[in-house]
Amino acid sequence: MADAGYGSEENYELLESQQIEGYVKYNYFHKEQKRAQKNNPFLQQNLFYNKDGNFYVCPMGQRMEFVGKGTRESTNGYTSQVSYYSAARCEGCPMRGQCHKAKGNRRIEVNHRLNELKARARKRLTSETGKYHRSKQAYRSRSSVRPDEKQ
Ligand code: SF4
Tens of pLDDT along 98-108?
A: 999 999 999 99
Kindly report the protein residue whose alpha carbon is nearest to atom 4 of ligand 1: 99
Ligand 1 pocket, residue 44 CB under 6 Å: no
Q: What are phi and psi of 126, to 5 degrees?
A: -95, 0
Domain boundaries, the chain: 4-144
Residue 82 vs residues 4, 6, 40, 65: alpha-carbon distances, Å:
21, 20, 23, 14
- pTM of the full predicted structure? 0.85
CA of 96 relative to ligand 1 center, distance in Å:
6
- Residue pair 98/88 in contact (Cβ under 8 Å)? The answer is no
What is the structure's pLDDT at 111? 97
Any atom of ligand 1 within 6 Å of the Cβ of 95: yes
pLDDT at 1: 85
Q: pLDDT by residue (tens digit) across 4-55? A: 888 999 999 999 999 999 899 998 888 888 888 889 999 999 999 999 999 9
C-alpha 101/C-alpha 113 separation (Å) is 27
